[in-house]
Amino acid sequence: MEEIGNLIQGFATVLEPFNIGVMIIGIVLGVIIGVLPGLGGANGVAILLPLTFSMSPTSAIIMLSCIYWGALFGGAITSVLFNIPGEPWSVATTFDGHPMAQQGKAGEALTAAFTSSFVGALFAVIVITLVAPLVARFALKFGAAEKFGVYFLAFCSFVGLSKEPAFKTVVAMMIGFALAAVGLDHMTGQLRLTFGFTELLPGFDFLIAVIGLFGIGEILLTMEEGLRFKGQSANINLRVVLQTWMELPRYWATSIRSCIIGCWMGITPAGATPASFMSYGIAKRMSPRGKNFGKGEIEGVVAPETAAHAAGTSALLPMLSLGVPGSPTAAVLLGGLLIWGLQPGPLLFVEQKEFVWGLIASMYLGNIVGLIIVLTCVPILAAMLRIPFPVIAPIILVLCAIGAYTVHNNPFDVIMMLVFGVLGYVLKKCDYPLAPLVLALVLGDKAEEAFRQALLGSQGSLTVFWSNGLVGSIMLLGLIALFWPTIQNGLARLRPRRAV
C-alpha cells in the first residue's frame, strides 16, 4: 500500500500548474514529432533535452516523457492516412489502418488507434505501479539466449501472416536479412557487404527503408492509379469517436493479449516495434475475424497499437530500475537523468521517491491529456484526406526527404530513401509482401547478435536455447507459432476420428 501513498504524492507534484503546462506542451510537440517521418521520439527528445536544463528534474522528465507519449500517439496518424509510418512501431498499424482510410473510415481507424494506445499505456503504467521491483528482477533473467528466443518468437508468430505464397514471404524476409547484414559486424568488429563504399558503413537504417518502401512507394502507386486519394468521403465529425468507442469493447480479448505482449516485450527489453508486429501476427491467428486482416479490420489496428504503446511505456521501467534503456528514446531520457544528477539504478526508487512517483503519476495524466488532445484532432486529421493529391503529394515527399535526412544528417540517406521507394513500388507490383522484409530488417541484426552471443557463451553448443525453463518455453512457443497451421490441420483430422 506504500505504493499508493507514494503515487498520490506523485499526483500532487504533477498537478502543479507549471507541470500541467509543460505536460500539454510536451504532448503537442510529441505529436508533431511523431507525425514527421524519420524525426522519431528519440531524436525529438534529444533535440529538446537542452530546453529542460533550467527546470527541476521532475518538471523536465514530465515534459520529456510527455513528448515521448505524444510521439507514440502521433506515429499512428500518418500510418493510417498516407500509409507512411511516422515511427517504426506504427508499421504494423498501416496493414489495416490504411485500408480503413481508403474505405472512408479514417476517423474510425484513428480513434481506434489512439484509444488502444491509451489502453496499452494505462495497462503498462498499472503494471509499473504495482510490480516494479518484481518486474525489474524478471528483466535481469534475460541473457543473450533468452533475447534470441524473444526475437525468434516474434519472427515465428509473424510467418504466414501474408496471404501471398509462402515462397514470396520467405524471399521478402531474406532480402530484409541481407539488408540488415550490411555495415559493421558488431561481433567481429569488421565490415560486411560494404564493397569498399564508405557510405554503406552505417548499414541500412530501418527508418530510411520504411520511409522509402512505404511512403515513396505509396505515392508512386497512387500516381499510377490516377493522382487521387481513396477515402475522401471520410466522416469528419466527433460522433465518429463515440461510435467507434461503442464498437471497441468487442475486441477485449485482443486488447488484453496485446497489453500483455507489449509489457513483456518492453521489459525484456525487445522494444515496441517487435511487440507491435508480434501482437498483430498473433491477433490474426487467434481472432475469428483473422481472415479479414489486411483488408481494413479495426481489430488489426487495435492489436499493434495497444502492444506498441504498452511496450513503449513499460520500456521505461528497466531504464529506471536497472539503467538499461528498453528503447532509443529511453536511452536519451537516461542521458537526461544523469545530466540532472539522478543515478538510475536499483536505488533510484529508494532515494528519489518524489521524482520516480512524479514520473509515474505523469504517465497516468500525460496519457489522459494526450488522448483528449489527439481525439479532438481526429476530424481535422481525417479532413486532410480531402486535400487534393497534387497539393499534398509534394508536401509528403518533402517531409519524407527531411525525415530521411534528419535520421543521420546525411544527404546520402535521401538518395537511399528514393531507391527504397522504387524497390517498394516494384515489390508491390509483383505482389511481394513488404512486412516480412521490414521485420527482418529491423530485427535481423539484433537476432543475429543475440544468437552469436549465446553461442559464444555456450562455446558453440545449440543446447543453450533449451538450457533453462525460461528460454526453453519461449523457443517452444515460437515453434508452436511457426507450425500452428500444420498443428491445426492435424487436430482437425484427429477430431472426426474421436467422434467415431
Per rule CB under 8 A, is residue 379 in the interface with other proteins? no
- 17, 190, 195, 492: which one contacts other proteins (CB under 8 A)? 190
Q: Quick one: which H or E segment has residue 191?
A: strand 190-192
- 233, 237, 243, 343: which one contacts other proteins (CB under 8 A)? 343
State the number of CA atoms in the 13 A half-sphere of 10 facing the CB.
Answer: 24
Q: What is the footprint of other proteins within residues 5-44 (CB under 8 A)?
A: 42
Task: Report the C-alpha gap between 63 and 359 in whole angstroms.
Answer: 10
Per rule CB under 8 A, is residue 165 in the interface with other proteins? no
Q: What is the footprint of other proteins within residues 80-139 (CB under 8 A)?
A: 139
Q: How many helices (H) and strands (E) does the chain have?
A: 23, 2
Q: Is the backbone peptide bond immediately before 344 cis, with ω within 30 degrees of 0?
A: no
- Residue 199 burial by CB count (10 A; 0-12/13-18/19+): exposed, middle or buried? exposed
Per rule CB under 8 A, is residue 472 in the interface with other proteins? no
Per rule CB under 8 A, is residue 459 in the interface with other proteins? yes
Spell out, one character per residue from 380 to 409, where the chain touches other proteins: x when CB under 8 A holds, - when not: ----------------------------xx
Q: How far is the CB of 232 from other proteins (least distance, A)?
A: 40
Task: Report the C-alpha gap between 117 and 72 in whole angstroms.
Answer: 8
Closer to other proteins by CB, 143 or 472: give it: 143
Which one of 49-57, 72-80, 126-134, 278-286 is the stretch in contact with other proteins (CB under 8 A)?
A: 49-57
Task: Report the C-alpha gap between 33 and 43 in whole angstroms.
Answer: 9
- Residue 458 burial by CB count (10 A; 0-12/13-18/19+): exposed, middle or buried? middle
- 133, 335, 390, 485: which one contacts other proteins (CB under 8 A)? 335
Per rule CB under 8 A, is residue 322 in the interface with other proteins? yes
- Other C-beta atoms closer than 10 Å to the C-beta of 354 total 15
Spell out, one character per residue from 432 to 451, where the chain touches other proteins: x when CB under 8 A holds, - when not: -----------------x--
Closer to other proteins by CB, 54 or 486: give it: 54
Per rule CB under 8 A, is residue 323 in the interface with other proteins? yes
Hey, what amino acid is at 309?
A: H
Beta bridge partners of 191: 184
Max CA separation in the chain (angstroms) = 77
- 86, 203, 212, 296: which one contacts other proteins (CB under 8 A)? 203
**Cell numbers found for residue 209:** 527503408
**Cell numbers found for residue 365:** 495524466
- 325, 366, 433, 444: which one contacts other proteins (CB under 8 A)? 325
Q: How far is the CB of 357 from other proteins (least distance, A)?
A: 19
Q: How far is the CB of 492 from other proteins (least distance, A)?
A: 42
**C-alpha Rg value of the chain to the nearest Å:** 22
Q: How far is the CB of 176 from other proteins (least distance, A)?
A: 19
Closer to other proteins by CB, 114 or 152: give it: 152
CA distance readout (Å), 454 to 72, 464, 465, 468 = 32, 7, 8, 13
Per rule CB under 8 A, is residue 61 in the interface with other proteins? no
Nearest to 34 by CA among 423, 418, 399: 399
Q: How far is the CB of 347 from other proteins (least distance, A)?
A: 5
Nearest to 161 by CA among 80, 92, 259: 92
Q: How far is the CB of 189 from other proteins (least distance, A)?
A: 3
User: How many residues sit close enough to other proteins to count as binding (CB under 8 A)?
Assistant: 54
Per rule CB under 8 A, is residue 189 in the interface with other proteins? yes
- 15, 166, 170, 347: which one contacts other proteins (CB under 8 A)? 347
185 phi/psi in degrees, rounded to 5: -85, 110
Closer to other proteins by CB, 50 or 490: give it: 50
Q: How far is the CB of 43 from other proteins (least distance, A)?
A: 9
Buried b (16+ CB within 10 A) or exposed e, 74-95: bbbbbbbbbbbbbbbbbbbbbb
Per rule CB under 8 A, is residue 56 in the interface with other proteins? no
Taking a C-beta distance cutoff of 8 angstroms, is the pair 366, 22 a contact? no
Closer to other proteins by CB, 125 or 342: give it: 342
- 46, 71, 400, 427: which one contacts other proteins (CB under 8 A)? 46
Per rule CB under 8 A, is residue 143 in the interface with other proteins? yes
CA distance readout (Å), 232 to 110, 240, 380, 386, 389 = 15, 15, 13, 5, 10
Which one of 18-26, 70-78, 336-344, 396-404 is the stretch in contact with other proteins (CB under 8 A)?
A: 336-344
Q: How far is the CB of 143 from other proteins (least distance, A)?
A: 3
Per rule CB under 8 A, is residue 198 in the interface with other proteins? yes
- Residue 329 burial by CB count (10 A; 0-12/13-18/19+): exposed, middle or buried? buried
Residues that bind other proteins (CB under 8 A): 42, 46-47, 49-50, 53-54, 139-144, 183-191, 198, 201-203, 318, 322-325, 328, 331-332, 334-336, 338-339, 341, 343-348, 408-410, 449, 453, 456-457, 459
